[in-house]
Amino acid sequence: MFRNCMIALAAGLLCAAAAAQTPQRPPATDTARALQAKYDRVRDFTATFTHTYQGGVLKKTLSEGGTVEVKKPGRMRWEYSVPEKKLFVSDGRKIYSYVPADKQVIVSSVPADDQGTTGVLFLAGKGSVTRDFTVS
């Protein structure tokens, strides 16, 4: 009995010591605000990308890739090089889509902020971590 009490006491002390050494994480709202502040400071960036999706009747997995350039607010250039050349450019008001094989440019309006997806809002420089995500 004494041995069991000592084991329980030792286990309790170890747990308490481990808890005391574990740094407390900041509340999610603090983390979200800090992330938003970093996002707000980014004015532009360039990256390579791979876009993989399932398409067609056979649900075949397809991949495309290229480079993207973003300059907030709202200006983007997506240049696909694999498997075929395509170009999408936005000036923040209009989107210009060009596929050389089609030999035409399609012009469309940028969706209103309340109609854009979360990803599009963040790429356009209009995303808000605290507005667009919830903490549970």
Residue 49's pLDDT is 95
48: closest CA among 65, 70, 72?
65
Which are the contacts of 56, defined by CB distance < 8 A and separation ≥ 6? Answer: none
pLDDT, residue 40, reads 93
Look at 75 and 3; give whichever has higher pLDDT.
75
Highest mean pLDDT among 1-5, 19-23, 54-58, 67-71: 67-71
Return d(Cα 32, Cα 124) in angstroms, integer: 19
Query: CA Rg, the chain, in Å?
Result: 25
Kindly report the pTM of this predicted structure.
0.70
- Which SS3 state, helix, strand or coil, does residue 75 take? strand
Structure confidence by residue, pLDDT tens digits, 65-103: 999 999 998 999 999 999 999 999 999 999 999 999 999
Indicate whether 25 pLDDT > 70: yes
- The whole-chain average pLDDT of the chain stands at 84
Q: Residues 38-41: contacts with CB within 8 Å, 24+ apart? A: 39/122, 39/127, 39/129
